[in-house]
Amino acid sequence: MIYYPTVTREPFRNRGRITDLIQTRRLFEDISHEPFDVKVDRIMMCGNSDLLRDTTELLVRAGFSEGSRSSPGQYVVEKAFVEK
């Protein structure tokens, strides 16, 4: 597991929206890791609905599928705080 904390507003060592950090590949440079690979990487997301929607779009375009209890996938979304 790689933990990469980031913020969008306050000064911090990792600053920027995670979707931008993924698209610009800065995330991967910072963690010295290859870009996400559907064959080996698994992702858990938690955040506001815009963040979850945008990150899901990135992952789906990269070939990832959402997992559930009944169907394994490469990413899951924590839905406790998702607005309905």
Question: What's 7's DSSP letter?
Answer: B
One digit per residue, the tens of pLDDT, for the chain of length 84 reads 888 999 999 999 999 999 999 999 999 999 999 999 999 999 999 888 899 999 999 999 999 999 988 999 999 998 776 555
Residues 6+ apart with CB under 8 A from 72: none
Same structural domain, 31 and 45: no
CA angle 11, 23, 27 (to 5 degrees): 50
Domain that holds residue 60: 36-84
Q: Do 45 and 57 belong together in one domain?
A: yes
What is the pLDDT, as a whole number, of residue 48? 85
Residues 20 and 51 in one domain: no
Q: Answer yes or no: do 24 and 48 share one domain.
A: no
How many domains are contained in the chain?
Answer: 2
52 and 82 in one domain? yes
Distances from the Cα of 42 to the Cαs of 34, 54, 77, 84, in angstroms? Answer: 13, 17, 11, 26
Q: Is the pTM of this model over 0.85?
A: no
Question: Do 71 and 82 belong to one domain?
Answer: yes
pLDDT confidence of residue 14: 93
**Owner of token pair 């705080």:** 81
- Please check whether residues 40 and 27 belong to one and the same domain: no
- Same domain for 49 and 76? yes
